[in-house]
């Protein structure tokens, strides 16, 4: 297709032939249709595969297709120039992502992704923050289950604290109460790529362990490690490590950093998974902690990683059925405390499985929120988190369009 000058599309879904990309396209079609008030398109490497996806989701030939390949910078440059916002599900981002970031930064095009790869994100911040500021490109990482419910959960709770308590919450606990549904094949591939990169470069391990890896020039107080079981006296339950805390905590601290530390420079945050009260909760916490340590040990052993990659773990492009996605859910509790000990609680709940159904909707709505609801004076060019870039606008949009619920609790 030939494109005249200017930006042809509001949103382009790059990676539409993958499992999550197709779900993003399904949400766009079901919610906004084609040829109405949204100009959007599908993008990927193969015309034939894009046509097959378009047919599979029930779209007509009116839905445009764009050929773009991570291995061909010229196609990525074209993709960026014709788009207001590019959604990308093409990961692992540390292997395939930088070319599109660079193209969007050069073209002043907004960008959203699903990235949960903190070492790569830290490198992109260092490399492109200044250029994105200059071009006006707004680069927003982690617009899926990692890390929107957690990042925006803290933003929501902190806003309520300022309104109701007149003070920020200097200590917030994120506690996963319930989660039904698996992680995506793309998440697994990103984990594997990160482990391989860590084996080659020891500095990546330091980045993964550093809660302030995404706040260049700022270091807050020591943070809880969350790597072992404990009895949470505030939640009044036992708690075990939560696998996504490594990325989510970094994004929460970056949001505070980008907003000028409204939570305080002494802000402390951690995430764990609640397992229940009493002896039964303790037993489940022990089991979950043991499983987490065993998984980490196995994943650190190259032959085990190879076997898991080949046989056990979902591959990129694979995912659960519609029935399985719709049977999933998640429920995250946030407990905040002011410096003088007052508390406030909130929850974030999602009505679909976190890794696919909910993530695909969050990603689509993040892109549209950035384009339609966020003024460039408030959020200029730069490398952002969802909470810092979109805040309340995205919370409202996710509640209206993506099945999320943000609410205070007693």
Q: What is the pLDDT of residue 299?
A: 46
Report the C-alpha gap between 176 and 221 in whole angstroms: 24
pLDDT value of residue 295: 58
pLDDT in tens, the chain (410 residues): 556 667 999 999 999 999 999 999 999 999 999 977 899 999 999 999 999 999 999 999 999 999 999 999 999 999 999 999 999 999 899 999 999 999 999 999 999 999 999 999 999 999 999 999 999 999 999 999 999 999 999 999 999 999 999 999 999 999 999 999 865 666 667 777 777 777 787 788 888 889 999 999 999 999 998 889 999 999 999 999 998 999 999 999 999 999 999 999 999 999 999 999 999 999 999 998 988 776 565 444 444 445 445 544 556 567 788 888 889 999 999 999 999 999 999 999 999 999 899 999 999 999 999 999 999 999 999 999 999 999 999 999 999 999 999 999 98
Burial class (CB in 10 A: 0-12, 13-18, 19+), 259: middle
- Residue 317: how many CB atoms within 10 A of its CB? 16
SS3 42: strand
| Residues 217, 81: Cα–Cα separation, whole Å | 33
Residue 103: which residues within 8 A CB-CB, separation 6 or more?
73, 76, 77, 79, 80, 109
Per-residue confidence (pLDDT) for residue 296, from 0 to 100: 60
DSSP track, 377-402:
TTS-SEEE-HHHHTHHHHHHHHHHHS
Q: Quickly count: other Cβ atoms within 10 Å of residue 357's Cβ.
A: 29
Task: Write the CATH number of the domain with boundaries 9-144+361-388.
Answer: 3.40.50.720
- Counting beta carbons within 10 angstroms of the beta carbon of residue 4, is it exposed (0 to 12), middle (13 to 18) or buried (19 or more)? exposed
Taking the domains of the chain in order of start, what are their residue ranges? 9-144+361-388, 148-352+405-409
pLDDT value at position 314? 56
DSSP structure string for 228-271: S-EEETTTTEEEEE-TTHHHHHHHHHHHHHHTT-TT-TT-EEEE
For 345, phi and psi rounded to 5 degrees? -125, 150
pLDDT of residue 297: 52
CA-to-CA dists, residue 282 to 51, 122, 244, 285, 323, angstroms: 52, 36, 21, 5, 33
pLDDT at residue 317 in the model: 62
pLDDT of residue 35: 76
Beta bridge partners of 344: 336
Checking DSSP bridges between strand 171-180 and strand 404-409, what pairing results, if any? unpaired
pLDDT recorded at residue 311: 46
Peptide bond into 92 cis (omega under 30): yes
The string over 362-394, giving b where at least 16 C-beta atoms fall within 10 Å of a residue's C-beta and e elsewhere, is: bbbbbbbbbbeebeeeebebbbbbbbbbbbebb
State how far the Cα of 54 lies from the Cα of 32, in Å rounded to an integer: 15
Name the token pair of 367: 């892109």
pLDDT of residue 125: 98
Q: Rounded to two decimals, what is the model's pTM?
A: 0.93
Q: How many CB atoms lie within 10 A of CB 294?
A: 10
| pLDDT for residue 201 | 79
Taking phi first (over 0 means left), then psi (-120 to 50 degrees means alpha), and beta for anything else, what does residue 53 get? alpha
């Amino acid at each position: 297709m030939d494109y005249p000058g200017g930006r042809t599309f509001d949103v382009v879904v790059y990676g539409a032939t993958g499992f999550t990309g197709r779900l993003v396209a399904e949400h766009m079609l079901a919610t906004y249709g084609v040829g109405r008030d949204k100009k959007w398109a599908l993008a990927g490497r193969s015309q034939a595969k894009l046509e097959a996806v378009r047919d599979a989701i029930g779209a007509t030939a009116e839905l445009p297709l764009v050929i773009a390949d991570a291995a061909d910078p010229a196609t990525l440059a074209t993709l960026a120039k014709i788009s207001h916002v590019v959604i990308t599900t093409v990961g692992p981002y540390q292997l395939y992502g930088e070319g599109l970031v660079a193209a969007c930064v050069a073209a002043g095009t907004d960008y959203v992704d699903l990235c949960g790869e903190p070492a790569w994100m830290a490198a992109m911040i260092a490399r492109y923050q200044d250029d994105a500021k200059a071009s006006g490109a707004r680069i927003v990482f982690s617009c899926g289950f990692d890390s929107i419910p957690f990042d925006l959960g803290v933003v929501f709770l902190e806003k309520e604290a300022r309104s109701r308590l007149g003070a920020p919450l200097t200590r917030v606990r994120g506690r996963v109460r319930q989660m039904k549904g698996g992680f995506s094949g793309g998440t697994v591939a990103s984990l594997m790529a990160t482990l391989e990169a860590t084996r080659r470069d020891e500095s990546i391990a330091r980045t993964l362990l550093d809660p302030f890896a995404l706040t260049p020039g700022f270091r807050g107080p020591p943070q809880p490690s969350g790597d072992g079981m404990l009895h949470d006296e505030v939640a009044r339950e036992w708690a075990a490590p939560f696998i996504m805390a490594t990325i989510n905590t970094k994004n929460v601290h970056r949001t505070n950093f980008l907003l000028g530390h409204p939570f305080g420079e002494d802000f402390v945050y951690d995430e764990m998974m609640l397992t229940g009260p009493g002896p039964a909760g303790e037993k489940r916490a022990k089991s979950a902690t043991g499983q987490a340590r065993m998984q980490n040990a196995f994943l650190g052993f190259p032959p085990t990683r190879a076997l898991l990659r080949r046989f056990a773990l979902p591959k990129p492009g694979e995912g659960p059925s519609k029935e399985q996605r719709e049977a999933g859910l998640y429920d995250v509790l946030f407990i905040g405390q002011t410096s003088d000990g007052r508390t406030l609680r909130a929850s974030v709940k999602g009505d679909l499985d976190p890794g696919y159904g909910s993530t695909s909707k969050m990603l689509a709505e993040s892109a549209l929120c950035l384009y339609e609801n966020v003024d460039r004076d408030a959020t200029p060019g730069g490398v952002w988190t969802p909470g810092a870039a979109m805040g309340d606008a995205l919370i409202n949009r996710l509640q209206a369009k993506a099945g999320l619920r943000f609410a205070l609790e007693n």
